Amino acid sequence: MSGKRFRYALEPVRLTRQWALDELLTTLAERNAAVAQASAALAALRGELEGARQHWLASQSGGQALALEQFALLSRYLHDGAARVTTMERQLALLEEERDETVAQVASARRALDAVEEHRDGQRDAFRRAQNSGDFKLADDHWSVLQSRGEQHESGI
């Protein structure tokens, strides 16, 4: 068997594509974390506002009159909270859009890497077939030499 090893000529391209994919996966993880954090913050704010609204409704159902100052304060708080919710929803939408763009880039980078790896595997298979063919030819030639020696030896030459 020959001692030649397979060397893929486009290995630098494959490595570059692997590194690009790894970098995009890191970016995707960061963006997923940012989306999760923004979603949690938005949910917390909505919870706070709902709690304030429920408190106001509970105080109204008890027949207690809410002081004008408390009503104004609660009204401003809910209005400000609604504006913050809108702002946070926009920020979350932007983060989700960036994440979705990164997902598309990851898919593209994965396809590019898969194409190079598929080519490498095909080249490796072709190398092995050629190597095996050469090994078989060498073994066949060796066998033929041994057979011819055996015939010469039997004929007394």
Q: What are the residue boundaries of the structural domains of the chain, listed by start?
A: 11-154
The pTM score is 0.72
**What count of other Cβ atoms lies within 10 Å of the Cβ of residue 127?**
15
Q: Give pLDDT, residue 68.
A: 79
What whole-number distance in Å separates Cα of residue 3 and Cα of residue 73? Answer: 84
pLDDT digits (tens, 9 = 90+) for 43-101: 999 999 999 988 878 777 766 666 778 888 888 999 999 999 999 999 999 999 999 99
> Looking at domain 11-154, does it have CATH number 1.10.287?
yes
Kindly give the residue spans of alpha helices, DSSP state H, lying in 1-157. Answer: 11-61, 68-154
- Dihedral sign computed on CA atoms, order 61, 66, 72, 73: negative
